[in-house]
Structure 1
Amino acid sequence: MTAASCARGRCVQGAGHGVTPAGAASSASCDDSQRRRSPCGAGYDVAVTSSLPDAGRIAAVLPSATLWRSVEVIETTGSTNADLAARARAGAGEGAVLVSKEQTAGRGRLDRQWVSPPGTSISMSLLLTPQQEFPQWGWLSLLAGMAVASAVGELAGGGAPVSLKWPNDVLIRGRKVCGILSERIEHPDGARAVVGIGINVDLAADQLPVPTATSLALEGLPTDQSRIVAGVLTHFERHYRSWQLRGNLRAEYEARCASVGAELTVILDGDRRVSGTGRGVDEWGRLQVTTATGIETYPVGDVVHATLA
């Protein structure tokens, strides 16, 4: 049974959890055994605890004039992207957010499966109706990566380097903590976009999908999922509104992207590989690489940094 309420004029749906009023503590209390060294506490040991996402707590810290018209948290689903895509086809408008505590059939880039133990990761999707022309929609995944990097960077407080690997992998100390998948959904009233975001929160080392991955817990960062989701939504909205006005966020993206200036290999369809130096992105967010034969541009591909290979 899903409990529903309205906060600040927005529809908020949660899975039976209480609503924390604005101004209340953002995380539950914990004893000394739960204390971690948190870079967000200006060098002090602060109490941080993992909490599952709560729709009321998320909505309480969002601005009153936010883009996000509804925030819904559910117990489990096959895929938050698939769920929101179905709503988009049925005519749902911009601003819906769906967060699940468990995702059993999620997909990542290049159709990779994305599954994690219950409660250990954030699985969330956003429904958008971009006004930019479709060739610019490639920026949605990139600006989502920027939003997660900004939110995680705030958690780290400068204590851990947070960067991006093209197009949208979020890295902490060079290890992947987040993946993103954007999809275009057709509708007679205009196409929609669904942006899916998966963040490793409480995964232990033996639960990581690949050796080059990490989680917020393994990095010693706060793991309050409501706080993290709210931070991602806040930064995403800021980047999204800027992109709607300007058409690209090239300078901002390149400033955070570790692929710029890195020796790397782009793995293309058919396992074809091209090596070179990351030059940057073009106005559509496509990767530019300086190779032995000149500057090449790639709209898709799997990037491997030489330092992480």
Structure 2
Amino acid sequence: MANILVTGSNGQLGSEIRELASKTVGLTFTFTDIKELDITSPEALSKFVKDKNFRYLINCAAYTNVDKAEEDKDTARLINATAVKNLAQLSIDNNIIPIHISTDYVFSGEGFKPYTENESTDPQGIYGKTKFEGEELLRNICQKHIIIRTSWLYSPFGKNFLKTMLNLGRDKTELGVIVDQIGTPTYAHDLAFSILKIIENIDKNKDFKDYGTYHYSNEGVCSWFDFASEIQIAANNNCKINTIESKDFECLAKRPYYSVLNKSKIKHIFDLDIPHWRVRISHCINRIIS
């Protein structure tokens, strides 16, 4: 039975893993967040894992406020890079396999075809830069690791685009949403399920050697405008979604114009069947309503 430590477990992805954990046979979980475990402290980490025999570590902790990161660089780097270094060293010292969640923001967003794991990175803002620093620290310290880059995460938990659009769509008759940023929504429930499948795959294959970086989002491509429009349809909201351009929406951090992720590698290695983003919206909305 594999023993798994989950950090940042009160966020969207961690909460989804917690929901699935109760239905999972053969895995035991320890869920932590900042109150239970300070991942920026090597001493706290070492003390926490002592004699617990963790086999896997799923790091869901991150500084994700993209705009605030531009002004709070030190905190963003502490959580997105330094803490990942600590977790990497902890993994080496305790024979743990870390599964770390990263982002599409490690790319420039100026491409025109889905990014593969091998393409050059060029993060444009502090959030993307610190997340990439974390990736590199993990790679350099811990050979046996899984990094999963994802995009446009949403769930019934915390703050996210779907919940914002859902609430605004109930109260407003019209909304303006950006049409010239292209990517793919990721239902955190699907990502959580896939992470558990990855662990199951590694656990069953004692000769597993395909460690490294992977991309995961739901299938398909859309703009934020498309995503917002589908949310209103799924929720039966009578709210008209109008298009606006990025230049008309002021924000501190530059957003990628195109950040679609190529998922061929993760589907092939772990035999994953990834649903299209359109078909998963209703599932999430129904959970929120119920």
Same fold (TM over 0.5): no
Which protein is richer in strand relative to its size?
A: 1
More relative contact order in 1 or in 2 (CA 8 Å, sep 6+)?
2
Which protein is richer in helix relative to its size?
A: 2
When normalised by structure 2's length, the TM-score is: 0.31
When normalised by structure 1's length, the TM-score is: 0.30
